[in-house]
A and B are shown apart, each in its own frame.
Chain A
Amino acid sequence: MAKSLFSFLERRKNWSVPYILFLVFFVVFPLILIVVFAFSNEDGSFTLAHFRKFFHHPEALHTLIYSIGVALITTLLCLFLGYPAAFFISRMVSSRSRILILLFILPMWINFLIRTLATVALFDFLRIPLGEGSLYFGMVYNFLPFMIYPIYNTLQKTDFNLVEAAQDLGATPRQVFLKVVFPLSVPGILSGIMMVFMPVISTFAIAELLTLNNIKLFGTTLQENIYNGMWNYGAALSLIMLALIALTSLMNGKGNAKAAEEGGLL
């Protein structure tokens, strides 16, 4: 027994076996469970009733569409606000840019609930009533660093020889930017979009806290259903959300690999 264990362990590729088992058990199987729950009734029989319920239920469908809308607006806002910031910082002296980037990343390491509550506190302090405005402010506030960081990283890695070459060839600063720098930063943009759009679609605590429960996003619908024991319907909704995210990842292509890398802010 020991001998076979030993020769098994000798092959280093077999060291991945415990983890593969772990992945199957804790990642693959649970996802399959979601699929199974989504398509079954309380007594276990196959049914499409949950999906039918979703499409016939204006409330759930509208919440999803509304959440997509919020996510789009947030992503665009983060992009328009974040790209210039990342661009300016990447142009600065390296010591200053490192500190600035640090300052922008720092909020990411603070618990996101505290960040959200801090936004609520700000609005309370300024006596501005909470509502849609505070929702977008809070979303952008939470996710702006996630947009700035990938773009900054990509801009940093840009080979400035290319920029110089373009300038030598007589390009105006505007052309340099539009034809050289911007296209090269597109992977960063795509990564940033993934890192903002996806979480916004699936958050739930942020909207509750920032709008006094007035605005409900799809994440909240999901959470409510699970909490209220409607596991099957909740699983169906999760599948719909997964499908949506898979769709956006497909469209994003290159951004995915980068997003995985930067997901850990390594």
Chain B
Amino acid sequence: MKTEKQIKMLQRIGRLFVLIPALTLASFCMANENEREGILKIYNWADYIDEDLLKEFPVWYKEQTGENVRIVYQTFDMAEVMYTKIALGQEDFDLACPTQALMQRMIHNDLLLPIGQDFGITPNYTGHMSPFIIDRLDDFNTRGKNAGDYALPYMWGVSGILYNPEKITPDKVQSWGCFWDPSNKGNMLMKDSYWDAYATAAVWGYRNDLVSGKRTVYSVINDHLPEDIALVEEQLKLLKPNLAGWEADFGKDMMTKGQIGFCYAWNGDAVWAIEEAAAVNVTLDFVVPVEGSNVWFDCWVIPKYAQNPKAARYFLNYLCRPDIALRNMDISGYCSPIASPELLEAVVDSSLEATQNLSYFFGPGHDSLKIDPVQYPDATIIERCAIINDYLDKNDEVLDMWSRAKGDNLFGGMTFMIILVLALLIIWIALRSIQKAKNKKRRLSRKK
């Protein structure tokens, strides 16, 4: 018999069992609801921003709007992962930083909100961006939408070869052929990215056509004709056994440590790597091969699932300030599209001897600037580079080709060994069951 006291105690316990989880769940949901308005979620490449800015922006934002904001910052190192997360609609990032090709795909698939010219306090943000980049945005218009309405260029650059002159002589890396040269086997890395690999293989595969003028770098990279794709596959399959590996991000680290001779690199990474290596007495250099290469830019977009586009736009405005852009350039090594006079003054280095022709970027009259040639490529380099567009409808086909070219490790010996082991296993099991049957018989006969 239970006393009243016991029943009361049990009732209390029972209620607790129900209340606690319910309360936790409720408070959790509520907390989430209220908080989201005060959060700015940013999804960016790793090592691509001065992280102190993440702490300084909320202060500036409060000055401008009187509101509080907290930044949630997530990084990625492969562009496709970023695209997937946004396309699936599971994540509600307010800002993301795709490459120009993915930006095109995102506009094409209707995943973005317009940036709006009227954000923040400086409406004319394109004012001090170089027309060299801004004009390129038109290349990416798709389905009647203006890329310029949806994307804000963040950093731009070219792709080339980062190399160690002590491990491979400079004349060898003037051509992409060094990747395919068997005497360099195991001495280099290629990027684990099907855009860069495709573009490089295409340029190398069609080098004769490029020289003869039959095709342009742009067409070779972007036409995606069936014979182009087939040629690229062939070249990649030749490349694979020659490589030390496919790198996502550890190439510049391995170069600084002197473990490999050269690798495919974006010039911003090269700037960073050259500086890091110099600190440990390793000299590195960067070159864009003669056959041609690609120029690219990363840009900020506002995905359509964003919950805080207002803070996003203010952040973009903040990033466009030349002083902020300079800080990001310093930290990452990359090059901002901003071409304002103050920025020009800051990047010119009178201690250099050679000059570069940067009139394509800073405007006429800037054809002999004393400036870091890796960060700001000379006009002759830009002439042999083309920008990569997205594969759009051909994407599945190219992805298939990519996994075929990259993936296959299986060789006859391995299959043979597996079959052998399986056969032995089956034989062993068979023998054991025969043995067991024999033993059983023996036992039974012994019982008699």
Task: Write 5 A-B pairs (CB below 8 A) sorted by A numbering.
Answer: A2-B14, A5-B10, A68-B418, A213-B245, A213-B248
Q: Which residues of A contact B403 (CB under 8 A)?
A: 57, 59
Q: Chain B's interface: helix, strand, loop or mixed, by majority?
A: helix
Q: Which residues of A contact B414 (CB under 8 A)?
A: 65-66, 69
Closest partner residue, chain B, to A75 (CB atom): B421
Q: How far is the CA of A216 from the CA of B415 in the complex (A)?
A: 16
B14 x A212 contact (CB < 8 A): no
Closest partner residue, chain A, to B78 (CB atom): A227
Q: Which residues of B contact A (CB under 8 A)?
A: 2, 7, 10-11, 14, 80-81, 84, 87-88, 186, 189, 192, 243-248, 250, 257, 259, 400, 403-404, 406-410, 414-415, 417-418, 421, 425, 429
A69 x B418 contact (CB < 8 A): yes
Closest partner residue, chain B, to A127 (CB atom): B259
A130 x B245 contact (CB < 8 A): yes
A213 x B410 contact (CB < 8 A): no
Q: How far is the CA of A68 from the CA of B245 in the complex (A)?
A: 22
| Known pairs A5-B10, A62-B410, A212-B189; A227 contacts B429 (CB<8 A) | no
Q: Chain A's interface: helix, strand, loop or mixed, by majority?
A: helix
* Chain B CB within 8 A of A228 CB: yes
Q: How far is the CA of A233 from the CA of B415 in the complex (A)?
A: 25
Name which of B189, B409, B421 has the most chain A CB atoms within 10 A of its CB: B409
B7 x A212 contact (CB < 8 A): no
* Chain B CB within 8 A of A6 CB: yes
* In-complex Cβ contact of A69 among B14, B192, B246, B417 (8 A): B417
Number of A-B pairs, beta carbon distance below 8 Å: 80
* Bitwise interface map of A from 38 to 60 toward B, beta carbon under 8 Å scored 1, else 0: 00000000000000000001111
* Chain B CB within 8 A of A1 CB: yes
A59 x B407 contact (CB < 8 A): yes
- Minimum distance in angstroms from B90 CB to a CB of chain A: 9
Q: Which residues of A contact B (CB under 8 A)?
A: 1-3, 5-6, 57-60, 62-63, 65-66, 68-69, 72-73, 124, 129-130, 211-216, 227-229, 251
B410 x A66 contact (CB < 8 A): yes
Q: Which residues of A contact B409 (CB under 8 A)?
A: 62-63, 66, 215-216
B246 x A214 contact (CB < 8 A): yes
* In-complex Cβ contact of B244 among A2, A65, A212 (8 A): A212
B88 x A212 contact (CB < 8 A): no
A72 x B417 contact (CB < 8 A): yes
B404 x A227 contact (CB < 8 A): no
- Minimum distance in angstroms from B78 CB to a CB of chain A: 8
Q: How far is the CA of A81 from the CA of B410 in the complex (A)?
A: 26
* In-complex Cβ contact of B243 among A72, A73, A214, A227 (8 A): A214
